[in-house]
Amino acid sequence: MVDSPAISVDALVKRFGVFTAVDQLSFSVARGEIFGLLGPNGSGKTTTINLISGLSEPSGGAVSIFGLDPRRQATAVRRMLGVVPQETALYEELSAWRNLSFHAELFGVPAGERPRRIAAMLELAQLTDRAKDRVSTFSGGMKRRLAIARALLHDPALVYLDEPTLGVDVQARHVIWNYIREMKSQGRTVLVTTNYLEEAEQLCDRLAIIDHGRLMALDAPATLKASYGSTVVELELDTPAPKSLIGFLSALPGVADVQADGAQVKVGLRIADIGPHEEGSGRPVSPGSDRHEAAAALPGILDRVAQAGVRTRRLNLREASLDEVFLALTGRGLRD
């Protein structure tokens, strides 16, 4: 148990009738990691969270939490877990304080410790002055913060947050990110689902991209971006790109992906294939070498464009986005 990962999911399957919501999903989350589950609406994120919290029974496969089975050892697992559900379920007619004290009792926080613990969590959620007010008078952001405070009340080693920033304004979103970083610095393991790419990229140590309940990719955000093409060459041509050009460009060494939309062409360069790179990491040896290597690929690209009989109006080099990785992997955007 000491060495077991925080979460281990092995060939997990969940069917609802004939529909498969989670399809042979396998991954593990290391202790102390912020792990992101990224996928469009309906891709199976909440279902996965429910399976690994023991709320729902798998149709196949196995889950273990710190080496324990969340269904057979439910009480022990529940004490280690703090869950911030997608739909914030609070008692609207009770005060913030009563909501927390109810939860503290339910989760076995010793009676003598409860007032101190509740006060500390209200402080964290910046709700101290609203402690006695009914939750029904709170804004959406305040409810979200209270739900986070509640999840941390029993000092869990592992925290799940299901779309914690959905429908939250930018400022409140940053506050929530900071809470999540703080959880990590306190040594907790965090599993967070989101369909905000920016958030996933900045927050998560590793990301699992899922679509239709299946794992499409799993790695550190920077490595995911590098595997699609860490540098993107954008071309604007004077005419729509001829079909043959796409083929020529795709065949060039180091080209990971080519997409054309009329006269706009995007060429994803997989720098690792062109220049020297660290063993197995997919990352270039020195970060600064990215642009040099991309520059080395440019003559070949421009040459193919000239051969196709079209001219380049504009050319731009930039870093690939996680959005492009997602599109390349799943063929669809995150929020279609």
Ligand X SMILES: Nc1ncnc2c1ncn2[C@@H]1O[C@H](COP(=O)(O)OP(=O)(O)O)[C@@H](O)[C@H]1O
The residues that touch ligand X, with contacts defined as CB under 6 A, are 16, 19, 21, 39, 41-47
Q: Which of 182, 161, 180, 1 is nearest to 77 (CA)?
A: 1
Min dist. Cβ of residue 312 to ligand X (A): 41
Give which of Mg ion, ligand X, none residue 132 binds (C-beta under 5 to 8 Å, depending on kind).
Answer: none
Residue 82: contacted member of ligand X, Mg ion, none (CB under 5 to 8 Å, by partner type): none
Secondary structure class of 323 (helix, strand, coil): helix
Shortest distance in whole angstroms from residue 245 CB to ligand X: 37
The residue to which tokens 């309906």 are assigned: 42
> What are 107's two structure tokens?
């989760």
For ligand X, the closer CB: 38 or 260: 38
Residue ranges binding Mg ion (CB under 5 A): 45-46, 86
C-beta closer to ligand X: residue 280 or 331 = 331
Nearest approach in angstroms of CB 41 to ligand X is: 4
Judged by beta carbon, residue 48 or residue 227, the one nearer Mg ion is: 48
Binds 231, which of ligand X, Mg ion, none (CB < 5 to 8 A, cut-off by type)?
none
> Which residue number has the CB closest to Mg ion?
46
From ligand X, Mg ion, none, interface partner of 16 (C-beta below 5 to 8 A by class): ligand X
Tell how strand 214-219 and strand 158-162 pair up. unpaired
Closer residue to ligand X, CB minimum distance, 71 or 214: 214
CB-CB contact of 35 with 192 (8 Å): yes
Nearest distance, CB of residue 216 and Mg ion, angstroms = 17
CB of 212 to ligand X, least distance (A): 9
Long-range Cβ pairs for the range 198-207 (8 Å, 24+): 199/165, 199/173, 200/36, 200/38, 200/322, 201/322, 202/177, 203/34, 203/36, 203/177, 204/34, 204/35, 204/36, 205/33, 205/34, 205/35, 206/33, 206/35, 206/36, 207/35, 207/36, 207/37, 207/38
Nearer to Mg ion, 12 or 153 (CB): 12
CB of 56 to ligand X, least distance (A): 8
Q: Of the two residues 162 and 324, which places its CB atom closer to ligand X in the complex?
A: 162
243: three-class secondary structure by DSSP: helix
Distance separating alpha carbons of residues 261 and 274, to the nearest angstrom: 26
285: DSSP letter: S
